[in-house]
Amino acid sequence: MVTVSLYHYLFVSTILFSLGIFGIVTRKNAVMVLMGIELILNAANINFVAFARYGNFGFQGQLMALFVIVLAAAEAAIALAIVLNIYKVFSSVNVDEIDRLKE
Amino acid sequence: MLTEFGKIFVFILIAILFVVVALIAAKIIRPARPTHEKLLTYECGENPEGSPWVKFNIRFYVVALIFLIFDVEVVLLIPWALVYQDYGFTGFAVGAIFLLLLGLGMAYEWRKGDLEWDRPHPIPPVLKKSETDSNLKIPKEEIEVV
Amino acid sequence: MEAPLKYIFDSIQYLKPEVAVSIFLAILVTVDLVLGKKNKQVLPYIALAGLVITGYFVTQQFGTSAFASVQHNIGNFGLIAVDSFGNYFKLIIILSSIFIVLFSISSIEIKQVFDRHGEYYSLIFGMMLGMMLMVSSADLILIYLSIELVSLSSYVLAGFTKQSLRNSEASLKYIIYGGTASGIMLFGISILYGIMGTTNLYAINTILQNGAFQPLALIISCILIFTGFGFKISAAPFHFWTPDVYEGAPIAITAYLSIASKAAGFALLIRFIKVTFIQTIGEDGYWQLLGVIDWKSFLIMISILTMTLGNFSALWQDNLKRMLAYSSIAHAGYMLLGLAVFSDQGVMAILIYFLIYLFMNLGAFFVVMLIANKIGSEEIDEYDGIAYKTPLLAVSLAVFLISLTGLPPTAGFIAKLYLFIALVDAKMIAVAIIALLNTVVSLYYYIRVLKHMFLTKPKVEGERITIGIADTVVLLAMLIPIFLFGLYFTPIVNFAKNSIALLGF
């Protein structure tokens, strides 16, 4: 009989983090890249809450998770607005095609 | 002895096997006589018209964004709502300032016209004298498309 | 009044500059809403008034050193450390903001989007608030939040003229790189929180002194956290965004990113490393860091990589803005060396460097902007023979570039001199020689611009470029300090010497 321990949470968060990095590196669609960034933020959130719960560190970690949720939403809103503008100007959201600034 | 997670793993394994075996068995046994009718997505429904990947109007997006921001800001109010009574009026005032700032954001969106659901105003075609035939009429329902 | 709230209200006296910025941010938004579509000319002057008032509060605060928002449960450490080190950087941020507002008044790019000026100035204030919190934050929560506040504002500002292809691309690249960097940093912060059980830097230092921690996890988390700092100061492995964003963004914003955002990043990095990892400060001013992470070799490696990469990439740039972007990467490399010395002298060299870098880099960007206003381009080929069309601008650009190279009698020489003195005093001769060689390389690409301006015949004969009186005054306000501090540098050296004290050390 195994109870869910801190390591299970850390395992999940590490997988999420790696998936996020993988998504950012491999995806060409700008929206998919942004989803990768969201995954990273959520991985950190899992860490914060799990550490706060299992380490008996008080509420700092859970508070941080709240802030991160709000910031992630704000960042997503701004990022999507920028992607929308990119689509208007370039007619594409492929990050490989948006490459005019080069030496 | 299996652990709790081991049981879940065995359960998932059996579920996958069940589906795969059933599909492969069906593939081997069943006769295959495809016709055009049979290959349609909905065999006895309407024929599909156009692509299912409809582009949604951009105005939905703006409203969704505004909703998202205000929806998430409410998260910050929850810790405050739990404790503000312990601090009397100052506790209330602190939250009120936060709400005031949110209200400023709302006023900003309102003033800048982001909350307007601006309908397109198509200019009705101006008919020339010669075209003003008795049986020529402007289809009303096409103008009212939002 | 109950206790926790009382501590918060008690600390407002230390937060006057931040409160002033927040109030003026709200005022700017409100005025913009009331004015509607016309009368936007008043907004920059409100912004300037706000900046002057904030600057007044900061100067009032010099000499104070105290914690704001104290958390009593972890040993009376606070969220915000108010000290002269932070105040020095706040002054740099405010000074550069004043210049940026003045730039924006005369920038054609910004004028074209006159109906969104309210957003422009409020975003600048939002960015400023974030940077002022960044330079004084002593808690990982506030570090992350303030970095995000700065980043979110600057993502929008980088793509402010939405129709322009360059602007849009710059903001997309900025938000993808920036979001990734800050996400990785947050993951590092979460691990560090897990090891230490607290987010306060001073409390972490106490735990580290006692030596109860996991070394491997600590190293991993610190490397992840460094990603965020490295992104902000555009240090070598995290510099990819810099050239594209600097080239694409409106020039006023590029100048702002290259000074204020970088200054805030450096202040945060210095505070993070010093407060978290310090063991003792010796009599001679050298810091003894805890031996868990070899920050010294790490920083020296990063800084040499940064300056070499920046300087050598700048050699073959045809766009002046892009060249200045690479040059700013190189300068970040020089300044990182000042930190790698790990002494009070090194920090003093960074402080002097930043004050002088403010004038010379902003000046260079200002001249590029004024010329781009007229000829609509920043390509170096377009600068052929421009000295004959506008002698004042050409000569000032020459002075700024010579100062960036670090030749006497300009102030840039003093900045480099103090940096090299700190390096030699710390017996880092080999590193000093590498930095010197880099300076020689940088001479080539700065002088190349001068050659185009003064020695090449223009391809087409254009009319003379004239600038207004207001622009001339702003230009002189940056030109005079270059010579003044180049010859009479005692005041800034004393000022920097008095400002190296971090709270608690």
Q: How confident is the model at residue C167 (pLDDT cuts 50, 70, 90)?
A: confident
Interchain contact A51–C (C-beta under 8 A): yes
**β-pair partners for C148:** none
pLDDT of residue C437: 93
Inter-chain Cβ pairs, chain A and chain B, closer than 8 A = 31
**Least confidently predicted of C70-74, C318-322, C449-453:** C70-74
pLDDT of residue C355: 93
Q: Is the pLDDT of residue C438 over 60?
A: yes
Confirm if C172 and A98 have CB atoms less than 8 A apart: yes
Distance of alpha carbon C305 from alpha carbon C300, whole angstroms: 8
Chain C residues within 8 angstroms (CB to CB) of chain B: 1-2, 5, 9, 26, 29-30, 33, 36
- C66-71 and C77-82 as β-strands: parallel, antiparallel, unpaired? antiparallel
Q: What is the ipTM of this complex?
A: 0.95
Distance of alpha carbon C493 from alpha carbon C495, whole angstroms: 5
Distance of alpha carbon C201 from alpha carbon C185, whole angstroms: 15
Residue B107 lies in a domain: yes
Q: Is the pLDDT of residue B25 over 90?
A: yes
Q: What is the pLDDT of residues C119-152, one digit of tens each?
A: 899 999 999 999 999 999 999 999 999 999 999 9
Interchain contact B4–A (C-beta under 8 A): yes
Supply C65's token pair: 């050193």
Residue B83 lies in a domain: yes
pLDDT of residue B145: 45
Supply B94's token pair: 């602190």
Residue B88 lies in a domain: yes
- Least CB-CB distance to A81: which of B5, B65, B71? B65
Mean pLDDT within C161-181: 89
Write down the residue that tokens 């329902």 correspond to: B141
Which residues, other chains included, contact C389 with Cβ-Cβ below 8 Å and sequence gap of 6+? C458, C462, C463, C464, C465
Q: Is the pLDDT of residue C472 over 50?
A: yes
Q: How confident is the model at residue C2 (pLDDT cuts 50, 70, 90)?
A: low
Question: Tell me, what DSSP letter sits at residue B121?
Answer: -
Distance of alpha carbon C238 from alpha carbon A103, whole angstroms: 18
CATH of the domain at B93: 1.20.58
Taken in order of first residue, the domains within chain A and their CATH numbers are: 7-93 (1.10.287.3510)
- Least CB-CB distance to B73: which of A70, A81, A84? A70
Residue B140 lies in a domain: no
Nearest CA in chain B to C118: B108
Contacts of C29 in chain B (CB under 8 A): 104, 108
Q: How confident is the model at residue C28 (pLDDT cuts 50, 70, 90)?
A: very high
Residue B76 lies in a domain: yes
**Segment (H or E) for C289:** strand C287-289
* CA B43 from centroid of its chain's CA atoms: 27
Supply C448's token pair: 């190349």
Q: Is the pLDDT of residue B1 over 70?
A: no
pLDDT of residue C280: 83
Interchain contact B86–C (C-beta under 8 A): yes
Q: Where is mean pLDDT largest: B72-81, C37-46, C140-149?
A: C140-149
Collapsed DSSP state (helix, strand, coil) of residue C139: strand
Mean pLDDT within C471-480: 92
pLDDT of residue A92: 82
* Structural domain spans, chain C: 311-505
Residue B97 lies in a domain: yes
Supply B61's token pair: 């997006």
pLDDT of residue B22: 92
Interchain contact A2–C (C-beta under 8 A): no
Q: How confident is the model at residue B127 (pLDDT cuts 50, 70, 90)?
A: low
Q: What is the dihedral of CA B99, A41, A29, C116, to 10 degrees?
A: 30
Confirm if C238 and C332 have CB atoms less than 8 A apart: no
Confirm if A80 and A34 have CB atoms less than 8 A apart: yes
Q: What is the pLDDT of residues C289-309, one digit of tens each?
A: 887 788 899 999 999 999 999
Supply A60's token pair: 């700092």
pLDDT of residue A19: 95
> Amino acid identity of C161?
T
Q: What is the pLDDT of residues C402-428, one digit of tens each?
A: 999 988 889 999 999 999 999 999 888
Interchain contact A71–B (C-beta under 8 A): no
Interface contact A70-B58, CB threshold 8 A: no
pTM: 0.87
Mean pLDDT within C421-446: 92
Q: What is the pLDDT of residues C43-95, one digit of tens each?
A: 899 999 999 999 999 999 887 888 887 776 667 788 889 999 999 999 999 99
Domain count within chain B: 1
CA distances from C485 to B106, C467, C478 (A): 48, 26, 11
Mean pLDDT within C346-367: 94
**Least confidently predicted of B35-49, B75-89, B122-136, C223-237:** B122-136
Question: Tell me, what DSSP letter sits at residue C82?
Answer: E
pLDDT of residue B144: 46
**Least confidently predicted of C74-83, C164-173, C483-492:** C74-83
CA distances from C289 to A3, C280, C282 (A): 41, 7, 11
Which residues, other chains included, contact B30 with Cβ-Cβ below 8 Å and sequence gap of 6+? none
Q: How confident is the model at residue B67 (pLDDT cuts 50, 70, 90)?
A: confident
Q: Is the pLDDT of residue C112 over 90?
A: no
- Least CB-CB distance to A1: which of B4, B68, B78? B4
Please give the residue range of the domain that contains residue B14.
10-116
Mean pLDDT within C243-259: 92
Instruction: With a cut of 70, list the residues of chain A below it in pLDDT.
Output: 1-2, 102-103
Mean pLDDT within C160-178: 88
Distance of alpha carbon C65 from alpha carbon C60, whole angstroms: 12
Interchain contact A4–B (C-beta under 8 A): no
Q: How confident is the model at residue B48 (pLDDT cuts 50, 70, 90)?
A: low
